[in-house]
Amino acid sequence: MQGGERIIVLGGDGFCGWPTSLHLAQLGYQVTIVDNFARRRIDAELGCQSLTPIAPLATRLAVWQELTGGCIDFAELDVAAAYDELVRLLVRTAPRAIVHFAEQRAAPYSMKSPRHKRYTVDNNINATHNVLCAIVESGLDIHLVHLGTMGVYGYGTAGMAVPEGYLDIKVAVNGGDIPLQIPYPPNPGSIYHMTKTLDALLFAFYNKNDDLRITDLHQGIVWGTNTPETLRHPALINRFDYEGDFGTVLNRFLVQAAVGHPLTVYGEGGQTRAFIHICDTVRCVALAIANPPARGERVKIFNQATETHRVIDLAHLVARLTGAEVRHYVNPRREAAANDLVVENAGFLRLGLDPVRLSDGLLYEVLDIAARYADRVDRAKFLSAARWRADIPVDWEGEIERGGVYPS
């Protein structure tokens, strides 16, 4: 038990925020969820619902209280706009920590149109800056834990393991070398990733100027959907996005295989990405809260990822398990056809994280969820209309001659 200390979870109704809120409540924290239901409204905009049926938040919270006797509080407000309300909430609740998920989280969605680009920048940057300003104005010593992304590093081939936020360099001066440690150079690949890069600059400033205690979690692509807490009752089930804007690549492959749709591989599939299971996401957030930086310490950065895989290898794995066809589509992104990615992740391992590794058994669990709710799948939503530039062609059919069933 954590002595009833208060934690505010911004974006606590979302894919990562909901299971994190339950996990923290299970650990004994007093949790307040803050959300404006923007993600639910985007479902309506896209005309696509979560694969799993998501109960209204009021129902979710009532079921949790009935099961556990614990009350998770809720405040509906827009963190990017309702600054004064946010300050009052902090002063009233005096939280030990704020977990910040309150940002538009999808790269394809951020690239759909000028409107989506502007919304992503306005929402994400204003939300982060409002949180930082509000902490300072409250006068409270609140630890901010932010969910960032591995994508701030870019997806080129670095030729080395990507460090956890800071890079050791030497600068040649007057015939000698001066050792320095600098923030790892960012290389964002979308408007979404750029907002996370700008977040990092805001964190560095408020950490230096106001001594705010900040932890930035550079998270890999999340797969899976449920945690021990969300499995306790059907009304607690987590959302599962499978469409082309918000559906993460492995989850999308598993749903496609479950309904007999070709696996949608963009380009050659040589892109290497970092991954983490949703169960490890919630554990990492809890570990970050329990191990805050000291007052005056620089921004603490973790690479919140447990393994790396090439996209084509994941497609072949799913095809081997299910017999699905692998089909290649024109890549809508401006990125290298292939890259290597090695990630340092010793920070959470030192704190005791025992990672969930990709395995056939866990994949079958997710496939079972996909099959159970197959009647909710809209096959027309697997591909996104988002394009990084207008001159990239829209490919709805795929290059069929390069597909085929992966040999067992």
Q: Which neighbouring-strand residues pair with 264?
A: 327
Catalytic residue among 112, 117, 196, 300: 196
The closest alpha carbon to 3, from 89, 96, 108, belongs to 96
Could you tell me which residues come within 8 angstroms of residue 267 by beta carbon, excluding any fewer than 6 positions away? Answer: 328, 329, 330, 331, 337
Could you tell me which residues come within 8 angstroms of residue 281 by beta carbon, excluding any fewer than 6 positions away? Answer: 16, 19, 20, 219, 222, 304
Helix ranges (H only) for 277-374 are 278-290, 311-322, 346-350, 360-372
Helix (H) or strand (E) holding 211: none
- The answer to whether residues 104 and 110 touch, using CB atoms and an 8 Å cutoff, is yes
Query: What's the first-to-final CA gap in the chain, in angstroms?
Result: 48
Write down how long the chain is.
408
The closest alpha carbon to 221, from 141, 303, 157, 292, belongs to 303
Pairing outcome for strands 143-149 and 213-219: parallel
- 112 catalytic? Reply is no
- 192 catalytic? Reply is yes
Catalytic residue among 52, 93, 149, 195: 149
Catalytic residue among 192, 206, 242, 266: 192
The tokens describing 340, both together, are: 């290597």
CB count, 10 Å around CB of 324? 24
- The answer to whether residues 340 and 272 touch, using CB atoms and an 8 Å cutoff, is yes
Helix axes 17-26, 57-68, angle to 10 degrees: 20
Could you tell me which residues come within 8 angstroms of residue 340 by beta carbon, excluding any fewer than 6 positions away? Answer: 157, 158, 272
- 149 catalytic? Reply is yes
The closest alpha carbon to 304, from 364, 220, 370, belongs to 220
DSSP secondary structure code for residue 248 in this structure? -
Residues with active-site annotation: 149, 192, 196
